[in-house]
Every structure is written in structure tokens, then in C-alpha cells.
């Protein structure tokens, strides 16, 4: 969408094709944050940033795995892209001043405001198009229906001051959208990824840029060594679409393909563990490989532990639940193996590393007690103070949520070592009392504490597990999408193994090798680079316009 807007504004005819019946992909389903260093919103958030600090941080985080030219291109173009869409499209964003970079101890990191999110957007402006926007992930909604921003979600989840009034305001806004409420359960107050995609969709419509749904691309067309179009399927027939300036692939990763997961990713792996758009089956990757493109990071993903809830179409990412005080993540030995509050990409990496060493850790098990259950929402459940166990008995009866009055009984239900679990909990309870996690330093840095509970002392990320009943669920090695894909340069041009450019072919987002390499700089480190390199690709494809 970003590439189409910029190319159109530079005088090109642009067309978007989408293989499914809904537009927006994983972006629409996501939290919708953008990681934009040195952005123009940071001053109002009273956070200072510089080009040098951003490059220092990214260089350290990516550990030499990403060419310096690409990092420099991103740091220079990302704030420019944001201003462009703010001035010429409908993008309106706010900085998240307390959402720090994921690795706050690295040089050049910032305590917040590099991560931004789109303001709530009135979906009524899209008319019927709002129904073709891919629905947000259920975990980004209150009761599976009511939209909230990332900033509002944090207030509600840890019950910060004013959370009751905020809940009432959001629920009333939803209920009073009449007569729409009689027609659809969709909330037209769009937030998070839906707000981002909705705003860009309106900018496309303003320009008259066509978007063809149910039009999967099948192959790239090459003439004299240059990509000059695609062959796609539309309305039951194959069509050849000519592209005079370039083809920009932005088709997501291969997380929805079980075959490609098994070929490239660590095992065990399952497509149903992914929280991403199930339509992402590696189409762009395969088309690129067919014309000789090089690849990088195919064994990697935007990892995060997930829970597979019965009856739901996609897995839920355990972003917050794993970080709140009073929950721990253990393996089959009943032992912790990671700082649960660490960035989610690192948690799954630890799962695989421990699993490879001989201790079954995929899946792992998230364990918590009655105090945790009473205090915080978890997965599909509200806290037990609002939704007691008798109202979620079907989940317990079906074995999704395990419950026991004793840790030993819970261990038997989960299939983990009972002695190991009891020993682990004794140790964690002592750490909670002292405030110091001697094993994994949980709660020692600013990122850990973002999803902590400030009412818990002395460490907002640690609380004892001592109030029965005890609960547990399986936590899988899931993802928000794969991060390996076609190798590109600083202008988003696709490269061959030789390093030569494939003329006319560009790739951005998760079908390209991630700018972040093996890391995850901060919230929005997927969408920020995707939009920025879409901006750069469009400019490169239309140099004389």
C-alpha cells in the first residue's frame, strides 16, 4: 500500500493484487506498531534520538548479519516515509513513550517513542470496504469484539488508574454504533493493525488506485533478463499483467505452509502454531527462487510463544501473559529455561535451544496460580474476579486449561516432572520475596518491566505461585511470521547469489530477508521496515518522475 501510494504520487500507474478475499494480511491482524527511529513524534514524547544512536543500536542488535548500507538506508528513510504518509495520506500516529526498545542495555537504545501506532480510525469512512479489511486478531479485542489501542490495552491489562472508566467508554462506543450494530459485530472504530491498514486503504481509494482481491500471482514474467510483469489468476482465468517500472512483492512469509516450515525452520514446527495470516504460504519466495533470487534467514522467524485455543482459527501470541508476575514457563523437566519477560523472539529461541540439548521444551508449559488467575486476563479468559472457573468449564473439560489444587497434580496433568516443578516454584517464590531472579534476571531491565504490575513489590515481574488452584497450558514455538526471504539491497531490489540485481524486481516485508536479521529491535520492527522499503522501492522504480 505504501509503495502504491508513493509510485502513484510520482506519476506511475499502480495496481495492487491480493490472493485472498480480504486485504491487509498479517499487518491488519497485528498490533500495527511501527518502529521508526528518530521520528518526528519523539520530541513531543520528550525522547531525544539521533541518526548515530539509531545506527549504533541497530548495528549492535543485528551483530554484523545485515549490510551497513541497508541499516543506513532504513535509519535515513524511515522518518522521511512517516512524514510523507502523514502529510500526503491519512496516516496519523502517536508515539508510545514508555514502550522501550526490546534490548535497553544495548548502546543507542531508547526508553520509548521509537515505537508508534496509528491513531484510532473511523472505519465508516471506508463504507463497504471495511468489511473486506482482514479482521484483527481476536487477542487485540475486548471480548473478541471491541477495539482498543496498544496504549489502552496496557492500561486495561494491568488495571492502571482509570481502567474502569476506559472500559466503559470503549464498550459504549461499540454499543452505540447504530444501526451498524444490527448488521455486523465488527467494530468500526479501527485500532492497531486495522487502523494502519484502514488509513492506507482510504489513501488508495482517494487516488483511485485499484485493488484486485482474489487474484493470486503465479509467476514472474521476464524479458531480456528483466522482470516485466506477473501472471496471475483472476475470475477463473490466467491474466498477464505488464509492469513497465517494476514488480514489488509484499506477500508475507511462508508461515502458513507446513511443507516450507519443515524444510527451513527448526523442528518441531506447525503452521497452526502461527498467529499470522494463514494465506501466507511462501508464494513470493517461490516465485523469486524460480528466477534465481538469493535468500537469507530462511531458518528464522518473528518468534513468540503461542497458545492454540479450541475453536479459534489462529493461535494467540503470549506476549503479556508470560511477562506478568505470577506466571512461569517450564519444560518437561518442570524447570525454567528462560527469562519469561524477555522479548518473545528470545523465548522461543530458548525453547528450541533447550529442546535440541535433549530436554523436551517444545511445547513448554505456562504455569500460574489462583492469584494470577484472579488478577489478570489470560488468553481467551477474563480474570476470575469477572469470569470465574465455572464459566470457562468447557476449556477445562476439554483439556485446554489444566487445573489442580496441588502443583504435583498439575504436573501430572501436564506431563511434566512433578519434583522438578515443585522445586522450581519454591525457588521462584523465594526470588519473588527478595525481588531478584538469580537464574534469569527477570525484571532487571526496562523492557521486562513494561508488562509488569507496578502494584507488585519489590519486583513488578515476580510474584510467588502459592495460591491454589494452580493452572497450566501448553505454550508452542509460534510466530508472527517468518523473517527469511528474498535477499535485497538498500533500495529493496532483489539480488542474485552473485550480488547482481534482478532488474525490475523488488521485495519488502516478510517475503524479503529481514532488515533486523536475527533480532527484533522493538515493537513495530516488522512493519516499520516493510513500509520504509516499500517507500524506497517505489522511488527507485520511478526515478524520473
State residue 414's pLDDT score. Answer: 98
Please report whether residue 159 resides in a domain.
no
Question: CA 403 from chain center: how many Å?
Answer: 30
**Span 103-127, average pLDDT:** 97
Distances (CA, A) of 126 to 123, 130, 201: 6, 6, 8
Please report whether residue 35 resides in a domain.
yes
**Span 211-224, average pLDDT:** 98
Provide the whole-model pTM: 0.96
Q: Are residues 342 and 295 in the same domain?
A: no
Q: Are residues 242 and 214 in the same domain?
A: yes
Helix 527-541 × helix 2-9 angle, to 10° = 30
Please report whether residue 56 resides in a domain.
yes
pLDDT digits (tens, 9 = 90+) for 414-468: 999 999 999 999 999 999 999 999 999 999 999 999 989 989 999 999 999 999 9
- Would the pLDDT of 10 be above 90? yes
Q: Are residues 414 and 278 in the same domain?
A: no
State residue 545's pLDDT score. Answer: 62
Domain of residue 85: give its range. Answer: 1-134+193-300+483-545
- Would the pLDDT of 544 be above 80? no
Q: Are residues 337 and 466 in the same domain?
A: yes
- Would the pLDDT of 157 be above 80? no
Q: Are residues 26 and 93 in the same domain?
A: yes
Please report whether residue 152 resides in a domain.
no
State residue 540's pLDDT score. Answer: 98
pLDDT digits (tens, 9 = 90+) for 480-506: 999 999 999 999 999 999 999 999 999
C-alpha 286/C-alpha 280 separation (Å) is: 12
State residue 205's pLDDT score. Answer: 97
Please report whether residue 224 resides in a domain.
yes
Q: What is the mean pLDDT of the chain?
A: 97
C-alpha 274/C-alpha 315 separation (Å) is: 6
Distances (CA, A) of 275 to 31, 250, 280: 12, 18, 11
C-alpha 76/C-alpha 134 separation (Å) is: 31
Total structural domains within the chain: 2
Helices (H), 102-191: 150-157, 163-175
Please report whether residue 144 resides in a domain.
no
Q: Which residue has the cell 522461543?
A: 348
Distances (CA, A) of 79 to 71, 106, 115: 13, 22, 12
Q: Are residues 108 and 216 in the same domain?
A: yes
State residue 341's pLDDT score. Answer: 97
pLDDT digits (tens, 9 = 90+) for 249-261: 999 999 999 999 9
Please report whether residue 84 resides in a domain.
yes
CATH of the domain at 473: 3.90.700.10
Please report whether residue 145 resides in a domain.
no
CATH of the domain at 127: 3.50.50.60
C-alpha 30/C-alpha 139 separation (Å) is: 10
Q: Are residues 347 and 420 in the same domain?
A: yes
Question: CA 531 from chain center: how many Å?
Answer: 14
pLDDT digits (tens, 9 = 90+) for 301-358: 999 999 999 999 999 999 999 999 999 999 999 999 999 999 999 999 999 999 999 9
**Sign of the C-alpha dihedral computed for residues 285, 288, 290 and 295 taken in this order:** negative
Q: Are residues 123 and 200 in the same domain?
A: yes
- Would the pLDDT of 184 be above 80? yes
Amino acid at each position: 500500500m505504501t509503495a502504491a501510494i508513493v509510485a502513484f504520487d510520482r506519476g506511475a500507474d499502480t495496481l495492487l493484487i491480493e490472493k485472498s478475499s480480504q486485504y491487509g494480511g498479517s499487518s491488519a491482524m497485528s498490533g500495527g506498531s511501527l518502529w521508526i527511529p528518530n521520528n518526528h513524534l519523539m520530541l513531543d514524547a520528550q525522547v531525544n534520538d539521533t541518526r548515530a544512536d539509531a545506527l549504533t543500536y541497530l548495528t549492535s542488535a543485528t551483530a554484523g548479519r545485515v549490510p551497513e548500507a541497508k541499516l543506513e538506508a532504513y535509519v535515513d528513510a524511515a522518518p522521511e516515509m512517516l512524514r510523507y504518509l502523514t502529510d500526503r495520506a491519512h496516516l496519523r500516529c502517536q508515539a508510545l513513550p514508555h514502550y522501550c526498545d526490546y534490548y535497553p542495555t544495548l548502546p543507542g537504545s531508547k526508553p520509548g517513542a521509537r515505537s508508534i501506532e496509528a491513531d484510532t480510525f473511523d472505519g465508516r469512512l471506508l463504507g463497504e470496504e471495511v468489511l473486506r479489511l482482514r479482521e484483527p486478531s481476536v487477542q487485540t479485542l475486548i471480548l473478541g469484539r471491541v477495539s482498543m489501542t496498544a496504549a489502552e490495552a496496557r492500561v486495561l491489562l494491568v488495571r492502571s488508574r482509570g481502567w474502569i472508566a476506559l472500559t466503559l467508554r470503549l464498550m459504549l462506543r461499540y454499543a452505540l454504533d447504530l444501526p451498524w450494530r444490527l448488521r455486523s459485530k465488527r467494530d468500526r472504530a479501527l485500532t492497531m493493525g486495522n487502523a494502519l491498514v484502514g488509513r492506507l486503504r482510504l489513501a488508495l481509494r482517494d487516488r483511485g488506485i485499484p485493488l484486485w482481491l482474489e487474484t493470486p500471482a503465479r509467476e514472474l514474467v521476464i524479458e531480456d533478463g528483466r522482470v516485466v510483469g506477473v501472471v496471475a489468476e483472476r475470475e477463473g482465468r490466467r491474466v498477464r499483467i505488464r509492469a513497465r517500472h517494476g514488480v514489488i512483492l509484499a506477500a508475507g512469509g511462508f508461515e502458513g505452509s507446513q511443507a516450507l516450515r519443515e524444510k527451513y525452520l527448526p523442528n518441531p514446527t506447525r503452521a497452526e502454531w502461527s498467529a499470522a495470516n494463514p494465506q501466507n504460504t511462501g508464494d513470493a519466495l517461490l516465485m523469486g527462487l524460480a528466477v534465481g533470487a538469493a535468500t537469507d534467514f530462511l531458518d528464522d522467524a518473528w518468534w513468540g510463544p503461542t497458545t492454540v485455543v479450541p475453536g479459534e482459527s489462529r493461535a494467540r501470541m503470549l506476549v503479556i501473559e508470560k511477562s506478568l508476575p505470577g506466571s512461569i514457563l517450564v519444560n518437561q523437566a518442570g524447570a525454567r529455561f528462560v527469562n519469561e519477560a524477555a522479548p518473545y523472539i528470545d523465548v522461543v529461541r530458548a525453547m528450541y535451544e533447550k529442546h535440541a540439548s535433549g530436554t523436551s521444551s517444545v511445547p513448554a508449559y505456562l504455569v500460574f496460580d489462583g492469584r494470577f488467575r484472579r488478577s489478570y486476563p489470560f488468553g481467551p479468559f477474563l480474570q476470575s474476579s469477572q469470569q470465574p472457573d465455572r464459566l470457562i468449564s468447557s476449556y477445562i473439560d476439554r483439556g485446554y486449561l489444566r487445573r489442580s489444587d496441588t502443583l504435583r497434580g498439575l504436573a501430572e496433568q501436564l506431563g511434566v516432572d512433578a519434583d522438578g516443578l515443585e522445586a522450581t516454584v519454591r525457588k521462584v517464590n523465594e526470588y519473588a520475596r527478595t525481588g531478584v531472579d538469580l537464574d534469569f534476571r527477570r525484571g532487571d531491565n526496562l523492557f521486562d518491566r513494561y508488562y509488569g504490575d507496578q502494584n507488585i513489590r519489590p519486583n513488578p515481574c515476580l510474584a510467588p505461585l502459592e495460591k491454589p488452584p494452580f493452572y497450566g497450558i501448553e505454550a508452542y514455538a509460534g510466530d508472527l511470521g517468518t523473517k527469511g526471504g528474498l535477499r535485497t539491497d538498500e533500495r529493496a531490489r532483489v539480488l542474485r547469489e552473485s550480488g547482481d540485481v534482478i532488474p525490475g524486481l523488488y521485495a519488502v516485508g516478510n517475503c524479503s530477508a529481514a532488515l533486523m536479521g536475527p533480532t527484533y529491535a522493538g515493537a513495530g520492527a516488522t512493519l516499520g521496515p516493510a513500509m520504509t522499503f516499500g517507500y524506497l522501492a517505489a522511488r527507485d522504480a520511478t526515478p524520473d518522475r
